[in-house]
Amino acid sequence: MSAGSEMEALVAQAKQAIGAVADLDALEALASELTGRKSLIAKANQELKDLPPGERPEAGRRIGQARAAINALFEARRGELMAAGEAERIRAERIDVSLPGPSVRIGHEHVISKTIGDLTEILVGMGYRVAEGNEVDTDYYNFEALNTPPGHPARSMQDTLYVESGRGEEVLLRTQTSGVQVHEMESCSPPLYMIAPGRVFRRDTLDPSHSPVFHQIEGLAVDSDLTLGDLAGTLKFFIREYFGGEREIKLRPSYFPFTEPSVEVSMSCFLCDGSGCRTCGHAGWIEVLGAGMVDPNVFGSVGYDSERWTGFAFGLGVERFAMLRYGIPDIRLLYENDQRFLSQF
């Protein structure tokens, strides 16, 4: 067989083999086989030197034509495969905009944040403004300015988390948001109506009803001629707005260093309406917060004239209000980030 016939046969075989290739990787492997260093074309090139000188030009031209024809076949098939791959990619990535989109789970407020927001909204609607303070404060603002003497149990290391200040003063993680009231009274003249929501810290063991980190809202009203009756009316309206219904409140004498007189405030049980059930311990009443008239010593620490101004203060635990309203049995549920629990709110 002549060189021309061999090259024609090789091109015909290549055309058939290239047309049968289904992917680019297989095509590149076939290209190495048909036109690489060990291919029949490469071998024919090497044998040119063995031909008579007069036959070499024609044989070389035939080999070159065959190589060009095979390369053209490869390029054509490569283009077909790339076009088919692109079409498949477009088909796979195509989006039918008429179909509904994927369901997206939308987050929402944590139940503690929701409770703070609900309580704050009620109090702001009653004329109180929101004040914020530092979670790290000095012993003076957390205790001394609030008429808490050095020997008071609340100042012991068992309750308070002290930190190193490096400035010779006692610095602590605040145990109550009442210190914000002192800061505000130092910078504002009466009359003053404010609330201080925030996080507080105590050396407590975590159990179903206690947490070393929790949230409070402190309220303070300073004006002329405020009385315990004004405090009772304020709290009755506030309790009814949050818990609904015709809740009644009861004030029982108590003791807080920064109020005199001091009271513990209970509300009629929202489940049994005062008749007695497991929620209220069959007493008909649920203790909800502490309050009282501001002690004149506290006014003295901020330069208020206690002969001219009177005031009342109240403080509540946000977690307790949330647990009562939503029937949450364990405070730890509020901090465990269990989606099954949180999704209910």
Q: What is the pLDDT of residue 1?
A: 42
The CATH number given to whatever domain includes residue 120 is 3.30.930.10
Relative orientation angle of helices 111-125 and 318-326, to the nearest 10 degrees: 100
Shared-domain flag, residues 29 and 76 = yes
Q: Would residue 227 count as lying in a domain?
A: yes
Which has more pLDDT, 250 or 25? 250
Q: Are residues 127 and 272 in the same domain?
A: yes
The verdict on 16 and 134 lying in the same domain is no
Please check the confidence at residue 154 and state whether its pLDDT lies above 70.
no
Rank 65-69, 236-240, 266-270 by mean pLDDT and report only the highest: 236-240
Q: pLDDT, tens digit, for every residue of 172-188? A: 999 999 999 999 999 99
Q: What is the pLDDT of residues 56-98, one digit of tens each?
A: 777 777 777 777 877 887 788 888 888 888 888 888 888 778 8
**Whether 218 contacts 203, CB under 8 Å:** no
Single out the residue in 28, 60, 93 at which a domain terminates.
93
The answer on 120 and 36 residing in a single domain is: no
101 inside domain: no
Q: Residue 17: pLDDT band by 50, 70, 90 thresholds?
A: confident
From 100-104, 169-173, 230-234, the region with the lowest mean pLDDT = 100-104
| Burial group, residue 128, by CB count within 10 angstroms (0-12, 13-18, 19+) | buried
Same domain, yes or no: 125 and 213: yes
The residue ranking higher by pLDDT, 50 or 132, is: 132
Residue ending a domain, choose from 64, 93, 122: 93
Q: How far apart are CA 91 and CA 32, in angstroms?
A: 32
Q: What residue has token string 């609900």?
A: 118
Please check whether residue 104 lies inside any domain of the structure: no
**135-144, 181-190, 201-210, 268-277: lowest mean pLDDT where?**
268-277
Same domain, 266 and 165: yes
Q: Is residue 99 part of a domain?
A: no
- Boundary of a domain, candidates 61, 93, 125: 93
> Which has the higher per-residue pLDDT, 250 or 50?
250
- Give pairs for 175-178: CB < 8 Å, separation 24+: 175/142, 175/200, 175/201, 175/202, 176/142, 176/200, 176/216, 176/218, 176/315, 177/133, 177/216, 177/217, 177/218, 177/315, 178/142, 178/146, 178/218, 178/258, 178/313, 178/315
Q: Is 99 left (phi over 0), alpha (psi -120 to 50) or beta?
A: beta
Same domain, 81 and 115: no
Query: Which residues touch 106 (CB under 8 Å, ≥6 apart)?
Result: none
- Count structural domains, the chain: 2
Q: How many other C-beta atoms are found inside a 10 Å radius of the C-beta of residue 301?
A: 19
Rounded mean pLDDT, 132-156: 87
More confident residue, 39 or 306: 306
The whole domain housing 187 covers: 111-342
Both 86 and 118 in one domain: the answer is no
CB atoms within 10 A of CB 95: 7
Question: Using 50, 70 and 90 to split pLDDT, how confident is the model at 319?
Answer: very high
Same domain, 138 and 222: yes
Same domain (yes/no): 326, 220: yes
**Region 228-243 average pLDDT:** 96
Name the residue with higher pLDDT: 125 or 22: 125
Are 290 and 171 within one domain?
yes
pLDDT(135) > 50: yes
Residues 141 and 14 in one domain: no
Is position 223 within any domain?
A: yes
239-260 per-position pLDDT tens digit: 999 998 788 999 999 999 999 9
Cis peptide before 100 (omega within 30 of 0): no
Give pTM, 2 decimals: 0.69
